[in-house]
Amino acid sequence: MTIIIYIILYYTMNIKRLITTPFGKILLSIILALGLASLFRKVCNDKNCIVFNGPVLSDIEDKIYKHGDKCYKYKHEPTKCDSTKKVINIGTIDKPSSF
């Protein structure tokens, strides 16, 4: 029983000594910050939280855009899916209704 108390006191004194040093304060701050950040991190299940933001295709179709010294005309065309590449289903975008 005395050995257990001695071990507890030994580790308690080392922890107190570690907390009072500048390095110990920084280390404790990092550990607490990582713990707090893990509470508020966004959980992503099966890549459902990935959001693709881009223009509505009907708004940019058949218009001419200048980038640098070159002009480009956007025209979408359907192609076959390549089985060697990953295909991501984007779906349709609903336009927000006006108030």
Q: How confident is the model at residue 99 (pLDDT cuts 50, 70, 90)?
A: very low
Dihedral (Cα; 66, 51, 92, 46), 10-degree rounding: 140
- The DSSP result for 13-72, as a single string, is HHHHHHHHSHHHHHHHHHHHHHHHHHHSPPP-STTTT-------HHHHTT-EEEETTEEE
pTM of the model: 0.36
Provide the residue ranges of all domains of the chain, joining segments of one domain with +. Answer: 2-39
Task: State both tokens at 87.
Answer: 């295909």
Residue 96 has pLDDT above 60, yes or no: no
pLDDT tens digits for range 21-71: 888 888 889 989 999 988 887 777 766 677 767 777 778 888 888 888 999
Three-state DSSP state, 73: strand
CA 5, distance to chain mean position in Å, is 46
